[in-house]
Amino acid sequence: MNKVIVSVVGTQKDVYGEENRIELVTVGRHYLKNGINYISYQDSESTGMEGTATLLKVGEDCVTLVRKGQVEHTQQFRLKESSSSLYRTPYGDMTLTILTNNLDISFGSASGTIDIGYELVVDGQWQSANHLYIKICTDNNVCNAVN
């Protein structure tokens, strides 16, 4: 297992056109198993998910996001496909459905980028257009150049 720097930039644009942006830079772990890259890290207060461990499973054409802790959630991103999942919080559960409009995965031996564009529907109501840019690197100086 390699130590990596994980940079995440997430943006959401709601029905009113208002945009929210969240950024996280943290230390994580990376390993490769059966052709799948696994990246794990702890979310922070800045993302609103303090106490939640996140695992990214990165394949050639699919990214699966798994969260455990304060929030329990598994979501799969596959280009031009929609997927639904249960999102569990201390305040209650909701069903999230996403349609992945863009998925660009560029990954080397222990570093790379993931660029995801998707629409989010919560309990049947369109919520937002989203963009998630994730950069994983072994050198902190390289990771400082986040999209």
Q: DSSP string of 11-78? A: EEEETT--EEEEEEEEEEEEEEETTEEEEEEE--GGGT-TTEEEEEEE-SSEEEEEEEESSBEEEEEE
pLDDT tens per residue, range 17-57? 999 999 989 999 999 999 999 999 987 665 556 678 999 99
Task: Name every residue whose Cβ is closer than 8 Å to that of residue 66 and which is 6 or more positions away in sequence.
Answer: 54, 55, 56, 57, 73, 74
**What pLDDT score was predicted for residue 48?**
57
Q: Count Cα atoms within 13 angstroms, Cβ side, for 142.
A: 12
- Helix, strand and coil content of the chain, in percent to the nearest 5, comes to 5, 70, 25
pTM of the model: 0.88
> How many angstroms separate the CA atoms of 31 and 57, rounded?
10
Give every residue of the chain whose pLDDT is below 70, as ranges.
44-50, 139-147
> How many angstroms separate the CA atoms of 13 and 17, rounded?
6
**What pLDDT score was predicted for residue 97?**
97
Sign of CA dihedral 9, 94, 60, 117: negative
**What pLDDT score was predicted for residue 11?**
96
Type of residue at 131: H
Cα 58 to chain centroid distance, Å, stands at: 10
Query: What are φ and ψ of residue 64, in 5° steps?
Result: -115, 130
**What pLDDT score was predicted for residue 115?**
97
